[in-house]
Amino acid sequence: MYYERPPKKRRFFSYFIVALIAAIVGGIISAYIAPTYLYGKVLPIPGNYDEKAPYNAGQQINITPSEDISSVEAVAKKAMSSVVGITTVQVQRELIWEWEVEGVGSGIIVNPNGYILTNSHVVGDGKAKKISVLFENGDMLPGKLLWYDKALDLAVVKVEATGLPVADLGDSDSLEVGQLAVAIGNPLGLDFQRTVTAGIISGLNRSIRVDEYNIIDNLIQTDASINPGNSGGPLLNNKGEVIGINTVKIKSSAAKGLGFAIPINVVKPIIEQIVEEGDFKIVYLGVTGIEVERYERQIGVELSVDKGVILLEIDANSPADKAGLRSGDILVKMDNQEIESMNQLKKILYKYKKGDKANLTIIRNGKEMSVSVVFNQMK
């Protein structure tokens, strides 16, 4: 039997009619039948999930991107006028030659009468021959170094001015990972002054070794972009409050977006005393020492402990002398806080006031001992 195929045009028209009918039926089901008979009974209602379902067990969080953007803008407007640029001139010497080297960094105004907080390394750790401070309005004033501490990497510079815009200081002890963090500074010199970058608090209580003998601990880690020249500038929270002073950035091709800041709570009592008395002093212990690891390497011996400070000299009539410490003792703890270096010991002393007591754990002749010291002197 011979069967004749229908023409192609007729077949195409038949498929079109079938598809049109299917679309009409589907629309009727979606619009009228599904809401009444299917959704909530056979199918879940879109956007209204079962409260007992495992994928809806957590708290619902709504995120509006525009809120973050406006927060950064508000923080910048609030804090910008209190951020300054700091330029320095330092004399470098080598054998019989010497030459001047210029440096640039950032700072933050912490008192209307000209007190500016920055990093110690911005002012050459006290070796800067000349310090100049550039304000938002374009004024440039000479600065005088009042105080610095290399171990903390902090310094206070004074200019002769009054009525300056002051930054609000926040509470760095209340920080949480994930909070907004905004950095303001001069990342690559004064040509890019008061650059604003934003990110989050990436970590807390970080420790970074900045050189062979100095470890800066208790740092705030952020992914807000921090570059040379940002040093000394503020790290701010979403309220525009200073929560840290930007200090170091890891220089590694494998570690990008890692910036660090000194918590502002560390420096609050220092600022207060400097404004009131013109200087800051810490309690005096009266010891000279060297790190265990460094001592072993230089002398070529192996000691019974891995960490600590070997006391080489005890000052006469000092708190350490009166407590009975001896040359050769290894100081390993102060009030249960481990001691690893002289710089760390110095930073711990910032926590004590005149008249305070501390319990020292030492190793003497291979045996652990406890010694009590009274801080009755300042230096």
Q: And the tokens for 176? A: 């949480």
- Using H for helix, E for strand and C for coil, what is the string for the chain? CCCCCCCHHHHHHHHHHHHHHHHHHHHHHHHHHHHHHHECCCECCCCCCCCCCHHHCCCCCCCCHHHHHHHHHHHHHHHHHHEEEEEEEEEEEECCEEEEEEEEEEEEEEECCCEEEECCHHHHHHCEEEEEEECCCCCEEECEEEEEECCCCEEEEECCCCCCCCCCECCHHHCCCCCEEEEEECECEHHHCCEEEEEEEEEEEEEEECCCCCEEEEEEEECCCCCCCCCCCEEECCCCCEEEEEEEECCCCCCCCCEEEEEHHHHHHHHHHHHHHCCCCCECCCEEEEEHHHHHHHHCCCCCCCCCEEEEEECCCCHHHHCCCCCCCEEEEECCEECCCHHHHHHHHCCCCCCCEEEEEEEECCEEEEEEEECCCEC
Task: Return the number of other C-beta atoms located less than 10 Å from residue 86's C-beta.
Answer: 28
What value does the CA radius of gyration of the chain take, rounded to a whole number of Å? 32
Task: Kindly name the residue from 121, 225, 318, 341 that is annotated as catalytic.
Answer: 121
Task: Kindly name the residue from 82, 202, 231, 318 that is annotated as catalytic.
Answer: 231
Residue 288 buriedness (CB in 10 A; 0-12 / 13-18 / 19+): middle
191 is catalytic: no
Asked whether the beta carbons of 373 and 321 are under 8 A apart, the reply is no
Phi, psi of 66 (to 5 degrees): -65, -25
153 is catalytic: yes
Asked whether the beta carbons of 292 and 303 are under 8 A apart, the reply is yes
139 is catalytic: no
Task: Kindly name the residue from 153, 225, 318, 341 that is annotated as catalytic.
Answer: 153
Residues identified as active-site: 121, 153, 231
